[in-house]
Amino acid sequence: MFKANSTRGLMIFGVLILVFLASSIAAYVISGNMGIEERFNNAVGIHPDSGEEGPSGIFGFNIEGNLVSYVIIASALIIICVVLYTRTKP
């Protein structure tokens, strides 16, 4: 019973993955290659004044927003996590 349910669950998950993957590829082909902001503006009908391109980043990965602020906030959050973890460690 357990095994049958487990396999069926995995199959349903696999089907969902295939359905969403197919729909996303279809949506990408129809809408074309765009960045997040551009895709959003295009979807709602906003036409930005300038066609400035964002930073290319490392291997295409880049940070949204201000990089320095990101590093500062992320570091502060990591420090808070370490302090909390060491205090509550069993």
> Shortest distance, CB of residue 84 to other proteins, whole angstroms?
4
For 58, list phi and psi in degrees, rounded to 5.
-105, 120
> Closest CB to other proteins among 45 and 51?
45
* Binding region for other proteins (CB under 8 A): 1-2, 5-6, 8-10, 12-13, 16-17, 20-21, 23-28, 30-40, 42-46, 54, 57, 59-66, 69-70, 73-74, 77-78, 80-81, 84-85, 87-88
* Cα angle for residues 59, 60, 65 (degrees, 5° grid): 125
CA distance 36 to 60: 13
